[in-house]
Amino acid sequence: MTSFQRIRVKGLLLTLSGLLLTACTEPEPVLQTDNPASARWYSDAQVTIGAAVFAEHCAVCHGSSAEGTVSDWRQRLDDGAFPPPPLNGSAHAWHHSNAVLLQVIENGGAAFGGKMPAFAEVLDHTEKLAVIAYFQNYWSDEIYAQWMQMGGPD
Ligand code: HEC
């Protein structure tokens, strides 16, 4: 073996032991899943903050688990307005980027004849992002992966 080869082998062993060490000392990932595409943009802490925001400001219309409060969210109400849709991945909130979701939360539905109130002055930016994290946490990995394919957060 030339000295050059010896150095390479030694380097490889060092790399391998480094990897093993990393594997043993890294903290467990928050989301356990086989599908890397479903690793989420938000933290557990954001979901916790979002849960409180949602319970106080959104659950009355969108349901306490974002499941909606009407049997068919596609069915217009008697006055022609749309009811609050579920946000748990069963309606179409997952067709929107976080930027669009933020806009809906900030401005409400007035711009398009809707009934959702505006939260621009009610919630701060951290709370708005956290509340998105809260209802997205109900999205299945499949829905989340489709959302990511459509562009995800941006
Ligand atoms: C007074 C009832 C009401 C409250 C309170 C309310 N919403 Fe809504 N929301 C609606 C309605 C109704 C719609 C459908 C659009 C419209 O008519 O304005 C809607 C639509 C939405 C959408 C768009 C969903 C989609 O599929 O495109 C999002 C996101 C949303 N709401 C989030 C929230 C969040 C987050 C809160 C709390 C901060 C909240 N809403 C509070 C009634 C409400």
For the chain, which residues make up each domain, given as ranges? 43-149
Ligand 1 midpoint to CA 95 (Å): 15
Q: Check: CB of residue 44 under 8 Å from CB of residue 30.
A: yes
CATH number of 43-149: 1.10.760.10
Interval 1-55: pLDDT, tens:
555 555 554 544 444 444 444 444 544 444 444 445 448 999 999 999 999 999 9
Interval 74-109: pLDDT, tens:
999 998 899 999 999 999 999 999 999 999 999 999
On the CB side of 126, CA atoms within 13 Å amount to: 6
pTM for the predicted model, two decimal places: 0.80
Query: Is 152 touching ligand 1 by the criterion CB < 6 Å?
Result: no
Q: Which protein residue has the closest C-alpha to ligand 1 atom 20? A: 84
Interval 113-145: pLDDT, tens:
899 999 999 999 999 999 999 999 999 999 999
